[in-house]
């Protein structure tokens, strides 16, 4: 006991130190791959799915054991008094005449009897099981359930990867765009000040000042929204990574590079329809429904059992002890139950057909998600090309106007407008690029891991 207490006192500080180490800020910023690796070990849904698989494995073992021989033992002590009855015939009944007729009945006081028994039950044929050696429907149904849960783990894993990727991209993108938003606020503040001076000089109208203030207020609102988006993204990501506070989340400010072009739609859909986790789950569910139907059908057939018992009775008198052995083969035949079992079998058959039809629906959903992801990625890629051209053109215009301003030719408000136009295009480009990365993560999820951008 002393050694156990000493070990416990040693383990508790080690655990607390390990927890502190996990909660401590990392010396280097977390990349997207780091966040995914941490989340795959911390996500409660993924952990629950693994436990479901372990539970299903034990259910398979239980189903196999139920169809094998069952041995039970009993032991009891009975105390009675009075004249012995046939229940306790092992006890001396009294004096008996030579012809076998009892002359005097023996009355006993408080007497104890020990009874020991063992019973062996072996289902020779039950619910499609033959001696418990074949893959009976009850066992096959549990195996199919385990297979479905195993593929569900893969689905959960792809969900975690997509969620972490989307949260990471949204958070880092919001942080990176905050610099542009603050620069826009500064330029619009200068625009308001210049417009006020020109209004005093009669060069601008009051409506011009109103428009400038309105743009300044909208820019402040946008900067606040980006700040809130970055804060909420950090909070969600820290929860997904198992951190107690967003302040302990140290993220890299660099978004991952876009992947190489994915395979063609035909190639990707061909791979998806072969080994997609959603389809594999549905196929396992179909097999489970089929085995349920087979099980209910076999319950319409007779069952055969081997039943053997061994009993030993001891009344503390060596001459009166008894041992009884019995063996029997019992047949249970369902005769009439108002059609309850037949209706149950038909219900399972309809369930089986429904799951078969649902497989086609699942395949349609996979096709739809993949095609929509491809379509959205194509549209955003086209938008990125257009925005890159606009940014290049806006940068050239700003450089020209800055050069003219240094020469005293360009007006300050014109330069500010061109800079604001450049910031707007740069902000749009960063936003579209972030959405494109999220769509690549969604395409990986839609493909069920058949195409991987993030391992």
- Mean pLDDT, range 255-277, rounded to an integer: 84
Residue 92's pLDDT band, with cuts at 50, 70 and 90, is low
Residue 7 confidence (pLDDT): 43
Which domains does the chain carry?
36-67+137-295+352-446 (1.20.1600.10)
- For residues 42 and 158, give the distance between their C-alpha atoms in angstroms, rounded to a whole number: 14
Q: Whole-angstrom Cα distance, residue 303 to residue 441?
A: 54
How much is the pTM?
0.78
Cα-to-chain-centroid distance, residue 80? 61
pLDDT of residue 200: 86
Position 83 scores a pLDDT of 60
Per-residue confidence (pLDDT) for residue 62, from 0 to 100? 93
The percent of the chain in helix, strand and coil, each rounded to the nearest 5, is 65, 15, 20
CA angle at residue 51 from 50 to 52, to 5 degrees? 90
Provide the token pair at 277.
Answer: 């986790």
Given a contact cutoff of 8 angstroms between Cβ atoms, the answer to whether 353 and 339 are in contact is: no
Mean pLDDT in residue range 229-239: 90
Q: Cα dist. 154→48, 80, 423, 449 in Å?
A: 13, 64, 42, 9
pLDDT, greater one: 253 or 108: 253
- Confidence class for position 21, pLDDT limits 50, 70, 90: very low
The tens digit of pLDDT for each residue in 149-184 reads 999 999 999 999 999 999 999 999 999 999 999 999
Please tell me which of 93-97, 200-204, 297-301 the model is most confident about, judged by mean pLDDT: 297-301
Q: Which residues pair with residue 94 across a beta bridge?
A: 105
């Amino acid at each position: 006991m002393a050694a156990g207490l000493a070990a416990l006192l040693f383990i508790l500080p080690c655990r607390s130190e390990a927890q502190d180490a996990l909660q401590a800020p990392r010396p280097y910023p977390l990349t997207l791959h780091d966040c995914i690796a941490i989340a795959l070990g911390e996500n409660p849904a993924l952990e629950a799915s693994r436990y479901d698989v372990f539970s299903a494995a034990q259910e398979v073992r239980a189903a196999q054991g139920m169809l094998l021989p069952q041995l039970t033992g009993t032991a009891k002590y009975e105390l009675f008094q009075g004249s012995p009855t046939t229940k306790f015939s092992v006890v001396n009944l009294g004096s008996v005449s030579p012809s076998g007729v009892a002359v005097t009945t023996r009355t006993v006081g408080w007497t104890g009897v020990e009874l020991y028994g063992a019973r062996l039950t072996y289902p020779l044929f039950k619910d499609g099981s033959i001696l418990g050696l074949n893959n009976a429907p009850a066992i096959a149904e549990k195996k199919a359930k385990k297979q479905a849960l195993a593929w569900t783990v893969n689905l959960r894993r792809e969900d975690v990867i997509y969620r972490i990727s989307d949260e990471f991209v949204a958070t880092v993108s919001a942080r990176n765009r905050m610099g542009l938003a603050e620069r826009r606020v500064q330029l619009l503040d200068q625009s308001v000040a210049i417009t006020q001076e020109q209004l005093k000089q009669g060069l601008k109208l009051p409506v011009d000042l109103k428009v400038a203030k309105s743009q300044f207020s909208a820019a402040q609102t946008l900067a606040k929204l980006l700040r809130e988006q970055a804060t909420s993204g950090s909070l969600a990501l820290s929860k997904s990574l198992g951190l107690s506070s967003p302040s302990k989340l140290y993220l890299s400010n660099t978004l991952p590079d876009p992947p190489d072009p994915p395979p063609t739609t035909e190639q990707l859909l061909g791979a998806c329809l072969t080994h997609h986790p959603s389809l594999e789950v549905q196929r396992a569910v179909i097999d489970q429904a089929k085995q349920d139907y087979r099980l209910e059908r076999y319950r319409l057939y007779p069952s055969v059992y081997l039943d053997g018992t061994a009993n030993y009775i001891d009344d503390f008198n060596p001459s009166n002890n008894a041992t009884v052995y019995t063996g029997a083969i019992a047949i249970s035949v369902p005769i009439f139950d108002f059609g309850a079992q037949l209706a149950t079998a038909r219900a399972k058959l309809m369930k089986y057909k429904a799951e078969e039809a649902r497989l086609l629906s699942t395949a349609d959903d996979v096709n739809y998600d993949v095609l929509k992801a491809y379509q959205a990625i194509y549209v955003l890629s086209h938008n990125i090309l257009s925005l890159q051209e606009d940014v290049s053109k806006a940068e050239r215009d700003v450089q020209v106007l800055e050069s003219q301003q240094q020469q005293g030719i360009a007006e300050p408000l014109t330069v500010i407008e061109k800079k604001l136009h450049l910031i707007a295009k740069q902000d749009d480009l960063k936003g579209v690029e972030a959405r494109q990365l999220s769509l690549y993560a969604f395409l990986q999820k839609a493909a069920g891991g058949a195409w991987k951008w993030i391992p």
